[in-house]
Structure 1
Amino acid sequence: MKPDMPPSIASQAEAHWVEGELVRSLMRTQRSTQWIGLVIIALFTGVLWDDASLRLLLAWVLLALGAAAVRFWSMREYVREVMVRGAAEHRAFIQKWRLMFPASALTWGLTTVLYFDRSSLADQFICWLMMAGLAMFSINALSAHLRSMYAYLNTLAVTCLVVMGWRIGGELQFQGPTYHWWIIALLLIFWQVLRQAGKRLHETHRKNYELQFRNNQLIESLTRQTQAALDAVEIKNRFLASAAHDIRQPVHALGLYADWLGSEPELVHELAPKIVESTKAVNQLFDSLFDLARLDSGKIKLNIEVVDLKQLLHDLEVQYRPLAEAKGLQFRVHVQPGTVVSDPILLQRIVGNLISNAVKYTQKGGILVAARGSRSGRRIEIWDTGVGIAPVYQREIFREFYKVPTHAGTEDGFGLGLYIVARLTQILGHPLTLASRPGRGTVFKLTIEPTDPAQATERAVASVAQLVSRP
């Protein structure tokens, strides 16, 4: 069986997971960069201490420390509440704190008020150099989350440009030195270069996480396939063990009867019926095993056609009435003539298994097989006065190899009949209900809704897939 291949187009689940991991990567870098920000605040303060207005410088320092405090607070919340959570929580976190990065960039952009055309050229050069380094550093720190990086770079560049434009046009009336325009041009070029570099770096991050997601899916798929194979081996071992256990008794009995008949031929009339019964038991087991093998392999063939209920139940009566009367049981059939759309062979197998169970687990009284009309379609009912089934076991009896442990005298059952019935009714789309009272009897009601061939085939395939993939 081929493992599930990752989709070529990202699914919504993949997109959400990747987005969450990108936020996780972004926040990992923030744990180290927040300390670097404090160092740069100190450097700006030292460089501009003698050049800038002390009042404006202290105001900016307070603003920068406030922005740093907000980042520390967000980081604290992330570590305590979000870091170990899933993608949804990470996406919600970045949505909540989405203004943190542009606010920080605005703080740094306002430094141009302190030094642009107000301090010595040497100090301006140092400040511009620190701003360029800060912008370049933000590419590595923020590129994991493209929207945050764009918000930071755009706010930083626009703030600088606005301050410079206000200085050049508002205060200097465009009478300043020519190099101001070169600085603006360099800033615009640098801004676009950083955006493109950050975008390429972000695409690398995203592709890495997409590959990681698909690798994880592939590993999970291979793990499921491996587990399914192990489960199939376990089912097969359990299948063989149970079949070997069930077949041992009638085969052992056949051997004993044959030896007995060889030593005492005059007992042929007494032993022959027992040999016949043991042979029937072996045949019944093989029939069940073959049915189960066809179901589990998906090779069951469907032949949907109109079925005459009267003829169907007549054929079953011919087969099972002698068995019931041999046990001293009454066997009655009540049929309202009509037709249904189903697979005649599989439908006969379903009803036959139900009648066989009724005969097997009824010691006195009788069995009634009835075909009636109902609002949802024709219905076949099998009533018996047998041992009954306690409510605690009524779901379990449809499992393979399951035998009700409290039923005395039912050790010759193989635990396959009702399992096969459940599988076939699900494939044909015929709902089966059960009502039972321990010690009083049981009734199975099979509603024969018209079977659609295409849907039945799909259900047959799904039944095999579910069997293979179940834990």
Structure 2
Amino acid sequence: MKAGLHRVADDDTAGRIAKLERINAALMAHVERTMDQQGGAYSLFQTAIMLEGRVRSRTEELTGLMHSLEHSNSALVAAKEEAETANRSKTRFLAAAGHDLLQPLNAARLSASALSDMPLGPEALAMSGQVERGLQTIEDLIKTLLDISKLDAGIVRPVIRPVALADLLGGIAASFMPMAERKGLRLAVRCPDIRVDSDPILLQRIVQNLVSNAIRYTGSGGVLIAVRRRDGTCRIEVIDTGCGIGESERHLVFEEFYRGGSGGDEGEPGLGLGLSIVQRMATALDHDLVLDSRLHHGTRVCLTVPVSPCQTESVAGPAPIATRLTGARVLIVENDPATTDALKRLLQNWDAEVSAHRDLASVAESVAAGQAPPDVLILDYHLDNGACGLDVATYLRGVTRSALPVIVTTADHSAEIEAHVALIGAELVHKPIKPAQLRALLTHLLP
């Protein structure tokens, strides 16, 4: 009996021990899981702290970059404003310098024209023609520099109208024929009777620069100006058999002062501005410009121009020059003595009666002395000491109580002067004065 009770007690004890062991195992597993979770949370906490530090560092870095970018933008704006100011100053300087350079050139051209009207022998006439052509070249160079400043300043506004292309290209070829013949080159034009829409002045200067450049860098063979029509456009091609341009230098061709690796005429090295101006003018006209060249084989430059729909419209010819200048009383007010003398001689060759003055005070003295009223006035806009030639017109119109015809001359192409001249109903002629233009205008104004 006792033995049975002992066995029951042992079994009960063993059961309790087993139960305690299971409880203990469960508790240990729970503790382990809790510790694992706490370890994971700690790891996450450490990771969060690390990421927060990285975010703070990157934020500080981005903030610094933003400040640096703001400073850079401010510096860029300041630099842009400074460049624009410098560009405007350059344009004003070149305009003023151009005016000073064109004044003596104007006098020289008038003198050369007056000389050609005199009875001269064939050799003297030929020399006079050479002088006039040389002066024309100088004038073109000065105007080219002015064009660069205006194109860079964005103040050139092309005037698009129908242009008779054959006449324009024929005139260009004729002007360059002596230069080509001196080098033994052929210069030819192939152009159908076609009209294009462009600015005639800018288009002429583009082709002139291309032809001049082609002749300069061609030693043998020739230069061809060809026009090929394509649908609604035509391509003006200037093709030469010259030295050509290497592939490595083609991207430099239209930059300023580029004169090529192969030398041109030793006597006429040029400034390397021609093709740079061509690029600017073509951009202003929205005409595509493409260059193709092979070293030692020649160059082809193509300018694409829209064909004008007005193909049948007649082209007005030059106005006929009348002879009503004989005995006409012309009053000149000009502060440049050389220009005054040349203009006076030119008008006297046309049988006009000329009185020349330097300023308004001199004109007033002549009026007080009883000088006969003039038939027409030729006034320089800019006189000495800031005086304006238009004041002379106002004075004489008041004295004579008549609307005297007035021609105003100036080398300044500003819109303000043009508006001021138009306000008094005067005619504006830019220097250098072209004698034929002046004579035609005088004929039109005189009764």
TM-score tier by shorter-chain length is 0.3 to 0.5
TM-score (norm 2): 0.46
Greater strand share, 1 or 2? 2
Greater helix share, 1 or 2? 1
TM-score (norm 1): 0.44
Greater radius of gyration (CA): 2
